[in-house]
Structure formats: structure tokens, C-alpha cells
Chain A
């Protein structure tokens, strides 16, 4: 079998425009050389029983005989200054800080490393200070997820350590101490790097490589020599940025590597505020993880520059060597303000990033229940399980069971490419193939384009298509799409579970998105109390719905249920027979739509949305069709019910359904939403000759017609419920 992991790589940046350059960075697990060819993906679904994979090979960007080698990854987040505070003249040191360990067994974890000095957790969770060969170690292990105040002294003759819980508990009331003779080892020198949350191993070029990375929070570390302050770091300062600020006399600021979690509640957090914006002084902690990884920092093997007139789209750099074929995704986006078509397809790259390298099949207890089938593990997934250094997805938990809030494009993303991972990316290429098959000229841009360019990106297009799963939206993205709709734009939403989580991008953290799962919604982990605000922006994280912008307000429909066991179909509503809406169902000879498809055998499936005026479905919005026979497989999302009940499935609960919705917007615009991820994967059934395709084509044709849609009379159709 041809290997898909013998070579792995990533393109940086992920998202370029014609005549810009992306750099292909490759690591080899065997081959010494490979060839590279660039392809535009028309359909990336390689299932022989699927719609037919299709790739268009480019005459640019490729290379033969490209030398490749293994490139290591330096996982684990830490804080570093290449040189610590100057200790000249000092013979003793006192270092204090607060720690909140989240893993206290199984591995050595370094909290501070500075020259010969190491402050660490031993494999059994006991705190220890070492100076060279001499160590003082507490007799009892720290407890997980509790704050401890720790102070270590390097005195003239003695090395000592004292620690106590910040909030005393019955089993640990008084400070615990340890001592050892100091020995001959010298204090750290000015040229020694100082690190928090990992031990320095080596410089690889300009990159610091570390070992013994720590899991947990650190707060307010300070260093004194004979009572004189050398350094004192305030982690609540510059919280959105990439450095830890030293308020001491020497300004020994630390660089944060691999994006440890900021906006972390400190030892003094008391629940009076929920955000670091309101009171930074309660957020003076940083949460480090030994499996944080947001930039592989690999060397570039090949520069790829599409020609200026390259068609925008989903692209791959295909690396081939003997018995190896491995694809690396990148996107060539339409240049903002320079449309080449009337239709824009938005590739939901924030969704791709959030899901990138998910490990939930291995780590998350409920995954098989959610998907209602045994886990099928591909070579890529088996590789990811064994190579945690490639970083986690926002669906994963860290090794210390805390949730993953940052996801980066600066690493191989083995489930974001043609292959066996049949969610999101692959499904969206069904839309590309459908557009091509229909002869619809279209541009492609990404979520990041939408975030950065907003309305300037969308305005030139008659129709904007959001894809099968545009789940992750920043404020800028949401505002741009809403503004486009309200200004006469035409929006087709060919998916489900869209516009769900509020995320952030940051100029300080290029290629990284942040998401906080909060305490509501279908989520594979729950955030810590007080830590639901985005560190990139200070905005509240979690569901858009909890911020007054339920998906219904943007799309007319919003997430209601998962439906993974098998998909179902739509039946037309009576309201859809309004003559003004007849264009949508033109040419159909049945009221049943989509009883077929490549995901679960129907167009209503995977994740589905419903209409709800109370949640923001606009006045005048019409339920065109509603699902039938969702059954026991449909499971209501947590935010959709208030008190507990057994009636949470599609047999018993009328909210476990999917509504297809249309509404006109001001200035002649309109929105049409399918509300189902499986809609996109039914488009190509029977070579595109089917009711799903027909309805989509009907809507697209009318949406391309500049004739304005009449603005709805207030309240028209607003009483529709569509319950089946």
C-alpha cells in the first residue's frame, strides 16, 4: 500500500493569492528525495464508490528530485529569554512563584530552568529544586489543580524549598520544607537562557529545543538576590501578545513559544469577574502544556508561486517517492476586489484548522457514541496518535485533560487533504465539483480572507456560498457576511452547524485561531470556570448563540442536532408553494428531496439546523422544507433544552429536525439555507442529476439574476414552525 505518511509537510502560508509564494516544508520518514506536483482539487473524495476524485495538474510549482530529510518538532509550550537577569555579584538567590500543576504523575516536569538551577516536579509529583547534582525535594507530592505558593532559596550553604497550598486544606495546612547542602555549583550566569515550563536542551539554529515540558499554570514568578529584585514577571500584562512582561528593573521579557494558554485564572481569581478584560489582576497565570505546538518551524524545501492568473481554489502539493504519496493542502484565493466570477465559494479554513489532526477517536470516551459506529483508523490517524508532536485539534484535550484552545496551520494537517477523513474539507470539494459540473464560474476565498478583508472581499459577488460546515466565525467574519446580506447580497448556505462558535484570529499569532468551548454547545471538553474569554481579543468565547447572535440570525437556521447514524431527507412545506418561491422547486416532480447521498444515504444528516424566530430567524423567513424520519439517531444539542428530559431524540422531540429556509434581505438580497452538512454530499449523486442538485441550481440561477427580491411584509410567514 502506498504510504501517506512517509513524507509529511505543510505549506506556509496556507492561504495565498496568485503571484504570492507559499513555502512547502517537508519532513521525511524515509525517502531522501521526492517529486512534487501541484494540483487543483476538483473533488478530493477518493472513495471508489463516491462521486469520483478529480484533480487538475498544474504546469507550475512542481519539482523533481527534491532533497528531503527528517525535520524534528519541538512540542511543548514554554517561556524563554535567551539570557536571564544579570546575577553578577550575587551569591544567593530567592525565587518565588505560584504553581497549579495539572499532571503530577509519570514524568519529570521542569517549571524553571536557568543554568545549573532547575525547579521541577519529580515523576511522583514532588516539588524539587536542584543546583547541579544537589537537590532538595519535598516529601509529599503536590495535588493536581490546586494552587501552591513555592519559594526556593539558594543560600550560601543551603539549598531550600518551601511550599504550601494557597488555600489551605485539611490534609495540607502548614508549609512543607526541604533542605540540602548547597554544594559547589555556581549560580546561573547572565548568558544562561532562562526558561519557564520546560528545560533547555539545545539550540537548533535559532530554535530552542526543550525537554521535560511542564503541564499546569505558573503565576507571578520573581527572582531576588539579597533582597534586591532582579526580575518579576506579570503574566497579566500584554496578555494578547507573545511575550511575558518583566516589571523588574532589567526588563527581562520572555518569549512565549508554542502558544501556552493565556487569560488563565490566577490563584486570586474569586469568581467576581469572568474575563481578564474586566480585571487583569485576577488573570496573572499562564497555562502551559507539554503538547502545545503551534509552529513546527521547519526549513523550506520548495517555494511555490502560482501565476497571477491562477484559478482560485483548493490546491495540493503532491509529494511522491517510492511507495509514498502524500498531499499538502494550500489555498489560492481570489484577490479581494478583483473578482473573476459572480460566485464566491468560501472555503471554511477556520473549520479545517479547528479539526486539524483530531485525536478524538483515540482519546475521547464518547466518540463512538457520537458517531454511532466503530472507529475506523486510517494510516494518517494512527500516525497522528503516535506523533503527538504534530499538535492537537480544538476537539482534543491536552494530556492533562484541559481543552485545546489554539489551533495552527503551521504544521502538517493530515486530515485536511484528499484521503479517508470524510468530514469538512473533502465534503466541501463535492461543492467544487458540482459547480464545475454545472458550468458555474466561481472564485474561492477562505475564512481567513473573510476575516481580514471583510466586505471588500464579498461585495463584488452576486452570490456567496458558504460550504458544508462553516462552524467557526470571528466577529469580523460574522459582521462581513451579515453586512453583505443586508446590503442586497445573496447568500447560499450549503451546510449545517454553521456560524456556531465565536473564534478569533490575531496578527500577533499568525496562522492560529483561538476557540473557547465554554459551558454550552456540543463540545468535546468543557472550559475552566472564568476562562471562557478569548485571549487574542478579550471577547467572550463559546457559542455565538450566547452572545445574542444565534446562527438563525445569520442563516435563518441554527444548529439543533447531530445525526450520524444515518441521514434522511426533506419534505416540502406548504409555505414553499408561495408563487414567489416557486423558482426554488422548479422541475421537481416530488415533494421529497434528498433521499440519497454519499454520507448516510440522505441529504439531511451529520449535523442539522432548524428555524426559530425566538433565536433570530428573520421576520419573513420561510421554512421551505423540513426533515422527516430523523429517528432515534437524531440527538438534540445541549443548548436546545433547559430541564432534563428523556425526550431528546428525533422520535420524541420536534426540535430534532432540519429546516431548509429562505428569506429576503434588504435592498433585494436573499439568503437560502439548507441547514444540513449532508446536503453538500448529496449534490453529486447520480452524476449530479438529482433533486438536491436541481434545487441548488434553481436557487443559484435566481440568485445570480440581479432582479431584486421583494422585501417581505413584516411578519409574513413568521408563524411557521415547520414541525414534522
Chain B
């Protein structure tokens, strides 16, 4: 029986490639370049424990940032004080947070 391997995403994001971040910022839903796609695939394959997710605060209008527990039945943990008015706003912010966590570099590019 084949199971998921939480460590199967081995691609390393180059923290100097801020051009890819800008590409994502300007085209959240694609189409993406192949290099950006790899960055996104890596980010979306982070371990379930601690993975960023959004909690609906007010349907369609307000979302709170949280981290999954990675354990069945254990609720996500809210990231204190971080909410968004749209999914798009959240996606960009999560991208920046993941960039920092995965490359060790803060992503210093302006928001749109």
C-alpha cells in the first residue's frame, strides 16, 4: 500500500529569485512559469504540522491565518492577529511567510 511521504518535496527554493515572487504577486492564479510552479509545489507540500491554512471568520469576507496541527482531531492554531479580507490577499501573504521559512530570507518586495 502506497502512503504519502511528507518529506517527498526536495526542491530547494532560491531565496534570491525575487523575480519569481513578483511573478506570483502579479498573477496569483497563473499561468505560471515552470520555475515558479516548482516554488509553489514545494510550498504546498510543506508538512501538515504547522502548514498555513485559512479559517473562515465571516463567510466570503474575512479569513484568519492559522496553522494546521497535523494531528487528527486537533484544531488548527490561530496565528494571532492576522486576518484577510480576501483569499487573494491571504495567498500572497502566505507566500511571503513561506518564502521566509523555506529560504531563511525575508521577501522584500512591495505588495501590489
Q: Which residues of A contact B (CB under 8 A)?
A: 1, 46-49, 359, 361-366, 368-369, 372-379, 382, 385-386, 388, 399, 401-402, 420, 525-529, 565-566, 600-601, 629, 631-633
Interfacial chain B residues near A565, Cβ < 8 Å: 29-30
Interfacial chain A residues near B87, Cβ < 8 Å: 373-374, 376
Residue B44, interface by CB 8 Å: yes
Residue B52, interface by CB 8 Å: yes
- The smallest beta-carbon distance between A40 and chain B, in angstroms, is 23
**A399 contacts B48, C-beta separation under 8 Å:** no
- The smallest beta-carbon distance between B73 and chain A, in angstroms, is 6
- The smallest beta-carbon distance between B108 and chain A, in angstroms, is 22
**A377 contacts B55, C-beta separation under 8 Å:** yes
**A401 contacts B3, C-beta separation under 8 Å:** yes
**What 1/0 flags go to B62-86 for Cβ under 8 Å of A?**
0100101000111110000000000
B68 to A, closest residue via Cβ: A362
**B56 contacts A375, C-beta separation under 8 Å:** no
Interfacial chain B residues near A49, Cβ < 8 Å: 60
Interfacial chain B residues near A48, Cβ < 8 Å: 60
User: Within residues 14 to 47 of chain B, which ones have a CB less than 8 A from any CB in chain A?
Assistant: 29-32, 34, 37, 40-41, 44-45, 47
Contacts known (A363-B72, A369-B45, A632-B30); A378 close to B56, Cβ less than 8 A:
yes
B88 to A, closest residue via Cβ: A373
**A420 contacts B59, C-beta separation under 8 Å:** yes
Q: Which residues of B contact A (CB under 8 A)?
A: 1-6, 29-32, 34, 37, 40-41, 44-45, 47-48, 51-60, 63, 66, 68, 72-76, 87, 90-91, 94
Interfacial chain A residues near B48, Cβ < 8 Å: 362-363, 365
How many A-B pairs with Cβ below 8 Å? 99
**A365 contacts B72, C-beta separation under 8 Å:** no
Q: How far is the CA of A365 from the CA of B48 in the complex (A)?
A: 6
Interfacial chain A residues near B54, Cβ < 8 Å: 374-377
**B72 contacts A374, C-beta separation under 8 Å:** no
Contacts known (A368-B51, A632-B31); A374 close to B90, Cβ less than 8 A:
yes
Interfacial chain B residues near A369, Cβ < 8 Å: 41, 44-45
- The smallest beta-carbon distance between B109 and chain A, in angstroms, is 19
**A385 contacts B34, C-beta separation under 8 Å:** no
**B45 contacts A365, C-beta separation under 8 Å:** yes
**B51 contacts A631, C-beta separation under 8 Å:** no
- The smallest beta-carbon distance between B33 and chain A, in angstroms, is 9
Q: How far is the CA of A565 from the CA of B87 in the complex (A)?
A: 13
Contacts known (A388-B72, A402-B1); A361 close to B31, Cβ less than 8 A:
no
Q: How far is the CA of A376 from the CA of B1 in the complex (A)?
A: 29
Interfacial chain B residues near A527, Cβ < 8 Å: 1
Q: How far is the CA of A309 from the CA of B101 in the complex (A)?
A: 61
17 more contacts with CB within 8 A, not counting A1-B57, A362-B48, are A364-B4, A365-B4, A366-B45, A373-B91, A374-B91, A374-B94, A376-B53, A377-B56, A377-B76, A382-B75, A382-B76, A385-B74, A385-B75, A420-B56, A526-B1, A565-B30, A633-B30
